[in-house]
Every structure is written in structure tokens, then in C-alpha cells.
Amino acid sequence: MKIFIDTANLDEIKRAAALGVIDGVTTNPSLVAKEGVEYKSRVLDICNVVDGSISAECISLELDQLCAEARRVAAWHPNVTVKIPMSEVGLQAMAILSAEGIAINCTLIFSVNQALLAAKAGATYVSPFVGRINDGGADGMLLIKECAKIFSTYPEIKTEILSASIRNPRDVTEAALAGSHIATLPPAVLFQMINHPLTDLGITAFLKDSQSYSPV
């Protein structure tokens, strides 16, 4: 499973990229607004750090404006993937833009039918919001499992499942077990995955025992 990081903070992205495990980055206007920077410049900064898919949101509501915005955003860098929310207009735009070779991340997916329609419209990725689904009392991982089963049943579907709204390390494990192609993680979750109390105890013991002999 590929791992993306969900942030617009450049220091966090650089720290994560240094681990050698990051395959892409997802952003949105809210994340960029927190940084107090211009959207395009921050996306380009991220492209210079991570050589992978960099999702940048498009927010226009009318078809012509949405397509025009997506084309402008996609032209920023070859690695930019345009994020388009699931909607009737969004599906129309995805059909047009995917035919032009523009990579698309269909965001705000909350049902299998939405994911299937986005895949049929040519989305490169579909992003089910696992945590938000759980917040509503449903099972976010069941949605991932059902999407994975349907997508694998029909080989003509090339769309990848990008599990979003990940809240904790266990969500990452569950997404991988459910067949998600990608999970996009908040930085805190990524770094929580590194640690385990037994690992810390083992390192402490090794350091103590190593004092009995000369350094290598």
C-alpha cells in the first residue's frame, strides 16, 4: 500500500519525506490557509520535495469554470493531481478532464456508488473519508472493503482507492487489510506508526548491554 501525507506544512513534509516511505501528498484549501501562504507556491514547494502525486483542490461549482480551474492547476507541475469533489458537475468534469489525460482525485466519497461512478468517469483516485463515516455511526472500513472487492472484480477499472480521514495507526492497518491502494495520513499518525513501547524497551536494553564492551 502506498502512503501519502495529508498536510501543507513544508517542514512536516520534509521530515516525512526523509523517512523514504512517502509516495505522495494530499492538500486542500483549509490546510494551505493554516500556513498563511499562496496556494500555487506551496503546491510547487511540495512538488520540489516529494516526487509523487500531489493533490491540489479545485473549488469551482460550475462545469466550465471547474474544468478551466482544473486545467490551470494541472499545468502547475506534471505531478499535480487535481482534487474534484463528488457531485453531478464533478462527474461531468472528471469525464472531460480524464479524457484530456489530467490526473484526478475524486474527494468527499461516502458511498460505494459514489466511488463506482467516479471510477467510471475516469478518476485516477477515489478518496473515501473513513473517519468521517465512522463519526456518523457507519463503518468506514467496510466501505473500503466493498470498493476494493468491486474494483478487483472488474479489471477495466484502473482507479485506485485512497483512504482519507485517517485518525490513528490502526486505521492504516485496517485500510491495508481492506485492500486500499493508498492511505493518506496526518503527520502525527505517520510518526506514531514508527513507535512501539517494546521497541523502546529493547533499545534501552541494548544500549545498557553495549556498555560492557568497547564501541565497534
CATH numbers and ranges of domains, the chain: 2-210 (3.20.20.70)
Question: What pLDDT sits at residue 186?
Answer: 97
Neighbours of 187 (CB within 10 A): 16
Question: What pLDDT sits at residue 216?
Answer: 67
What are residue 51's phi and psi, to 5 degrees? -95, 80
pLDDT tens profile 77-136 = 999 999 999 999 999 999 999 999 999 999 999 999 999 999 999 999 999 999 999 999
Q: Which residues are the active-site residues?
A: 83
Average pLDDT over residues 58-85: 98
pLDDT tens profile 177-213 = 999 999 999 999 999 999 999 998 888 888 887 887 7
Neighbours of 117 (CB within 10 A): 19
Mean of all residue pLDDT scores within the chain: 96
Output the CA torsion 91→129→7→194 (10° steps). Answer: -140
Question: What pLDDT sits at residue 140?
Answer: 97
- pLDDT of residue 48 exceeding 80, the answer is yes
Question: What pLDDT sits at residue 67?
Answer: 98
- pLDDT of residue 9 exceeding 90, the answer is yes
| CB contact at 8 A, 154 and 143 | no
| CB contact at 8 A, 78 and 50 | no
The x, y and z cell numbers of residue 150, run together, are 468491486
Output the CA torsion 33→26→179→192 (10° steps). Answer: -70
**Percent above pLDDT 90 for the chain:** 91
| Predicted structure pTM score | 0.94
Average pLDDT over residues 59-74: 97
